[in-house]
C-alpha cells in the first residue's frame, strides 16, 4: 500500500511539518528495558521485559538518525522475545475470560482480537508533564500550542479520520504540568531518574494517560508501558517534545510518535513483532513483516504470507508522513485490553 494522495493534509488546523533538524547532544547510554519504547529512523527497534530492579514494565523504543542500524543492534534487547509475548498473551486471554464471565456485553468478544461491535466512545483523560532543563525552547519548554495539536492528532488518528479503522477512543487534555529539573533532563530510559520523575509526577488511575515530554536519551523518539492488571508507577508514555506537531524532529514532527506510543499503552505490539513466523503482533489483519520499515518503502513485502508490509500502520517505524492507520483487528484488541486492564479508574 502506497502513500495516500491526501496524506500530508490529514492534520489540518495549524499542524505543519518543519525543515529544521534536531541535533541530539546526549551521549549514547545503554538501554535498560523498562517500558515500551519506539525507535525511529532508518533502522532501530525495541520492546522488552526489564532485567533490572525495575523489572515490572515493558520497553519499546523508537530510534532515529543515520546511525540507526547500529542503534537497532544496540537496543535489540528491548524487543519482546517470543516467551515474553507468550506470557503477556496468556495473561491477556485469562483476563478476557474472567471479564467475559462477569459481563459478556462489555467486550468485543471472540479472542484477544475479537469481533468489532458498536461501543460507546471511550474518553481517556490526558495529563501532560513537560520536563524542562530551563525556560527556553532549547531547554524543553515547548509551547501549549504544540501540546494541543498533539491531542488533536491523537483524536484524528484514533477516530479513523486519517484512514483505517475507528477505534472508539477519544483523548481529553486535563492538565499541562511544567517541571524544571535539570536532573531529569534528558529523560533516560530505564534510569533511576526516570523512576524518580514518574514517582513524583504520575497522577490518576489506570485509565489516565500520563505523557512525559522532553529531550530523550539515545536518539529515542519515545517509549511507553503496556497495560497490566495492577497500576505501576512507571505507567505512561514518554515522547520527545520536538516530535510533536510543528516540532524540529525532521520527518518525525507530525505527532505520530505519540500515536504509536499510545498504541503500546493500549496493548498493541509493533507490526513487525515476531517477524514472518508465529502469531506476529497478535492481530490477524496486519500482514506479517520481517523487520521494521523506515522512511516510506512503498510496495515492500518481506514475508511470503499474504499481504504487503503494513508500512502505513501507526505501529511500524516509518516517517510520520507515511503512517496513517490502525486496522479493525487492532481496534478490537485495544478495546478489549482497555476493558480488562484500564477501564477501572
- Which DSSP string do the residues of 228-272 spell out, in sequence order? -SS--TT-SEEEEGGGSTT-SSTTS-SSHHHHHHHHHHTTPPPTT
Return the HEC string of 103-130.
CHHHCCCCCCCCCCCCCCCEEEEEEEEE
> Cell triple for residue 169?
477512543
The owner of cell 496468556 is 90
The 3-state DSSP class for residue 133 equals: coil
- Of the candidates 302, 265, 312, the one whose C-alpha atom is nearest the C-alpha of residue 280 is 302
Exposed/middle/buried for 90, CB within 10 Å: 0-12, 13-18, 19+?
exposed
Beta-strand pair 62-63/220-224: antiparallel
Residues near 267 by beta carbon (within 8 Å), at least 6 away in sequence: 92, 226, 227, 333, 334, 337, 341
Listed in sequence order, the DSSP H helices in the chain are 68-75, 82-102, 144-159, 192-201, 256-265, 328-337
Residues annotated catalytic, as ranges: 261
Amino acid at each position: 500500500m502506497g502513500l495516500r494522495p491526501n496524506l500530508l493534509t490529514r492534520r489540518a488546523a495549524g499542524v505543519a511539518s518543519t525543515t529544521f533538524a534536531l541535533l541530539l547532544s546526549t551521549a549514547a547510554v545503554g538501554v535498560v528495558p523498562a517500558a515500551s519504547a519506539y525507535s525511529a529512523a532508518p533502522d532501530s527497534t525495541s520492546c522488552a521485559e526489564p532485567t533490572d530492579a525495575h523489572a515490572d514494565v515493558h520497553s519499546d523504543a523508537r530510534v532515529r538518525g543515520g546511525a540507526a542500524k547500529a542503534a537497532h543492534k544496540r537496543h535489540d534487547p528491548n524487543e519482546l522475545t517470543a516467551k515474553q509475548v507468550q506470557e503477556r498473551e496468556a495473561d491477556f486471554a485469562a483476563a478476557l475470560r474472567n471479564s467475559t464471565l462477569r459481563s459478556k456485553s462489555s467486550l468485543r468478544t471472540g479472542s484477544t482480537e475479537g469481533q468489532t461491535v458498536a461501543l460507546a466512545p471511550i474518553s481517556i483523560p490526558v495529563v501532560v508533564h513537560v520536563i524542562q532543563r530551563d525556560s527556553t525552547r532549547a531547554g524543553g519548554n515547548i509551547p501549549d500550542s504544540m501540546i494541543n495539536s498533539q491531542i488533536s492528532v491523537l483524536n484524528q488518528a484514533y477516530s479513523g479520520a486519517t484512514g483505517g479503522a475507528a477505534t472508539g477512543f477519544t483523548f481529553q487534555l486535563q492538565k499541562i504540568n511544567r517541571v524544571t529539573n535539570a536532573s531529569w533532563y534528558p529523560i533516560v530510559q530505564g534510569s533511576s531518574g526516570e523512576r524518580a520523575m514518574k514517582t513524583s509526577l504520575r497522577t490518576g488511575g489506570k485509565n489516565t494517560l500520563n505523557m512525559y515530554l522532553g529531550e530523550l536519551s539515545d536518539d529515542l523518539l519515545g517509549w511507553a508501558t503496556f497495560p497490566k492488571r495492577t497500576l505501576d508507577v512507571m505507567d505512561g508514555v514518554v515522547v520527545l517534545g520536538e516530535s510533536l506537531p510543528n516540532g524540529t524532529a525532521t520527518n518525525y514532527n507530525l505527532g505520530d510518535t505519540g500515536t504509536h506510543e499510545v498504541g503500546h499503552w493500549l496493548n498493541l505490539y509493533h507490526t513487525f513483532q515476531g517477524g514472518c513466523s508465529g502469531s506476529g503482533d497478535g492481530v490477524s489483519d496486519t500482514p506479517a513483516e520481517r523487520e521494521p520499515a523506515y522512511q516510506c518503502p512503498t510496495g515492500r513485502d518481506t514475508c511470503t504470507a499474504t499481504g504487503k508490509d503494513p508500512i502505513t500502520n501507526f505501529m511500524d517505524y516509518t516517517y510520520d508522513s507515511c503512517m496513517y492507520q490502525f486496522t479493525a483487528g487492532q481496534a478490537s484488541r485495544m478495546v478489549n485490553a482497555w476493558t480488562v486492564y484500564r477501564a477501572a479508574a
